Amino acid sequence: MSTALPEQIEAIFQQVKARNPGEDEFHQAVKEVLESLGPVLVKYPEFSDQKIIERICEPERQIIFRVPWQDDRGEVHINRGFRVEFNSALGPYKGGLRFHPSVYLGIIKFLGFEQVFKNALTGMPIGGGKGGADFDPKGRSDSEIMRFCQSFMTELHRHLGEHTDVPAGDIGVGGREIGYLFGQYKRLTNRYESGVLTGKGIGWGGSLVRKEATGYGAVYFVREMLKVRKDSLDGKTCVVSGAGNVAIYTIEKLHEHGARVVACSDSHGVIIVEKGIDLDLVKQLKEVERRRIADYAGYRQGARYLAGGTIWEVPCQVAMPSATQNELNGRDARTLVRNGCIAIGEGANMPTTPEGIRVFLDAGIAYGPGKAANAGGVATSALEMQQNASRDSWSFEFTEQKLDSIMTGIHAATWETAEEFGAPGNYVIGANIAGFIRVARAMEALGLI
C-alpha cells in the first residue's frame, strides 16, 4: 500500500513541472493544493493507489486555436484562443473565458485547475474548465469586439454544449461579450441552447444576481469568517482592489453591511476616498463609459489618485483583492497586517503570492482563499443553468437567498474540514481538502477514464 510521505507529493509536483514547462502560474496553483494533501493520502491511501492526484493534475483535454479577425480599418489580426477542459467527474466543464493580453496556456491551466476544486466546493453538479484569448479588448469598438467574439466562437462552438462544456465570463468578458458569443453559437448550431453559456442578459436566458454573485458571495464569506470570531463587517474600513465586475459588487455588498470602502483601483492606479467610495460614480465610469478609475478624482472633491500606487498601503481592517493573480505579495501582506487588517477575502483567483499567504496564516488573521471565497459566481452560473433547464426564472430575492446559503455552506465545509485535518481556522487547507475529496470520490466511482 502507498504511504503519504511528503516526498511522494514532491515527486508528483516535480513531474507536473517537468510535463508543463514554463507555466509558472499553473505550477504555483498545483503546488498550493498539493501542499495540503499529505494528510488526505494518509487517511485515504486508495487515492494514491489509483493515482488520483496525478490524474487530477492532467487536463482531460486542451484546445488551442487561431482566432483571425479584422479591425475597423480593415487590418487583419491573429490571436490565440484556448479552452482547457480540466475535469468532468462532477458534471460538464464549467469556467469562464478571459480576454487579456497576458493570457497564455499557463494562465488558463492555473485557472482551470483552481476551478475544479472551487466548483466541487459549491456542491453543485459542475466540472472544471477555463478558456480565453490573448486578445486585448481595451480601446476596441463594439464592432471589433463583436467580430472577435464571432471568430472565437466559430472555432470554440464545436467543443461546447449544455451537457459538455459551459463557459462564462472572466476578466475582459462581461455581458456584452457573452451576448456576441451566444449569438454566434446560436447561428452556427441553429439551436437556442440557453444552457451553453452563463452570464447571459436578463430577458434572454440570464439569471438575476449572476452579475453581482462573485462580489456578493465573497462578502458573505468574509461575513461568515468574522462571525466565527464573534465580529462583523459593520463599521469596518475596507479596501477592494480592481474596479471591474467582482470589485464593484464586492463594494456594493460591503456598503450594505455597514462597512466603508475607502479605496479601489485598476491596472493604472489607486483611488482613495476617506469618507467612502461613491459606487454609483464607479459604475458610471467603468460599466457604462469604460473609462479609467483615475477619472473619479475629477468628479469628487476629497478623492486622491495614486498613479501606479499599491492599494495595500491604504490602512484597512478588511482587504478584498478582486483584480488579478499575484497582485498581493509578501511585502504587501506584511503592510496589511502591520496596519491592523483582520480579514482577507479573495474575490480574484490566486491574487496572493505563496509568501503573502504564509504571512496571513502566520499572523492568524482570517484568510479566505479565492477557491472558496469567490465561488459564488460559478455557483450562481449553476443556478442559471438550473433555470435554463426548467425554462424558469427566479426572483432576485430567491436567487440571492440561494447564493447566501451556498456561501454559508462553503464556509462551514471549509472550516469543518480544516478542523478535521488538524488545521483549525486554516481555510486554505479546508478548501483544498474538501474540494479534492469530492472530486476524488467521483473519479473513483467513474473508473479509470
Binding region for ligand NDP (CB under 6 A): 169-172, 214, 242-247, 266-268, 322-324, 327, 347-349, 374, 377
Q: CB nearest ligand NDP: which residue?
A: 244
In the complex with ligand NDP, the residue whose CB is nearer, 184 or 324, is: 324
In the complex with ligand NDP, the residue whose CB is nearer, 146 or 264, is: 264
**Min separation Cβ 275 and ligand NDP, Å:** 22
Buried b (16+ CB within 10 A) or exposed e, 434-444: bbbbbbbbbbe
Across-strand partners of 68?
Answer: 78
**Min separation Cβ 31 and ligand NDP, Å:** 19
Q: What angle, rounded to 10 degrees, do the helices at 354-363 and 24-34 form?
A: 30
In the complex with ligand NDP, the residue whose CB is nearer, 264 or 433, is: 264
- Please give the positions annotated as active site: 130
Helix, strand counts (H, E) of the chain: 17, 12
Separation between Cα atoms, residue 56 and residue 363, nearest integer Å: 32
In the complex with ligand NDP, the residue whose CB is nearer, 187 or 290, is: 290
What pairing do the DSSP bridges indicate for beta strands 128-133 and 76-87? antiparallel
Separation between Cα atoms, residue 200 and residue 166, nearest integer Å: 12
Separation between Cα atoms, residue 319 and residue 10, nearest integer Å: 32
Q: What is the DSSP string of 382-395?
A: HHHHHHHHTT----
**Min separation Cβ 114 and ligand NDP, Å:** 9
Backbone angles phi, psi at 242, to 5 degrees: 85, 170
In the complex with ligand NDP, the residue whose CB is nearer, 53 or 137, is: 137
In the complex with ligand NDP, the residue whose CB is nearer, 150 or 349, is: 349
**Min separation Cβ 401 and ligand NDP, Å:** 19
Percent composition of the chain: helix, strand, coil (DSSP 3-state, to 5): 50, 15, 35
**Min separation Cβ 72 and ligand NDP, Å:** 21
**Min separation Cβ 277 and ligand NDP, Å:** 13
Q: Is 190 helix (H, G, I), strand (E, B) or coil?
A: coil
Contact 295, 243 (CB under 8 A): no
For 220, residues 6+ apart whose C-beta sits below 8 A from its C-beta are: 253, 376, 403, 404, 407, 408, 411
In the complex with ligand NDP, the residue whose CB is nearer, 267 or 339, is: 267
Report the alpha-carbon angle 367-368-374, nearest 5. 155
Beta strands in 218-308 (DSSP E): 237-240, 260-266, 269-273, 303-307
**Min separation Cβ 9 and ligand NDP, Å:** 26
